[in-house]
Structure 1
């Protein structure tokens, strides 16, 4: 995963949910705007809407949260 801001650094935590249930969780270290994300599956998932929540945190700065929800068919 890459960020537009090449100076981004810290820890990235990702949660993938569907129907209010956590499907997968992951984390990565971010250096120079690049993160190698590793995720673990928590439950099986079928078709349907999902939500990805990403939280980037670093020392001495407030955490930044991004929520991605698809709208419409792919």
Structure 2
């Protein structure tokens, strides 16, 4: 499904000017229909999958207890 810059910015949670900059840099694929720039939202499925995986890993890291300190005696 093709979306406008504004709709894509809302979906990604980014400012419109940042999405437009990424389009101009070629980091987001787009087409120009003679009137406006359209972006296929299907290209972001991997991005959202990776984002979910990273959130899960951060949550696991936050819930991991800190190990007890090893009581190292100074032998000097």
Shorter-chain TM-score range:
under 0.3
| Higher-strand-fraction structure | 1
Q: Which has the larger radius of gyration?
A: 2
TM-score normalised to structure 2 length: 0.21
TM-score normalised to structure 1 length: 0.22
| Higher-helix-fraction structure | 2
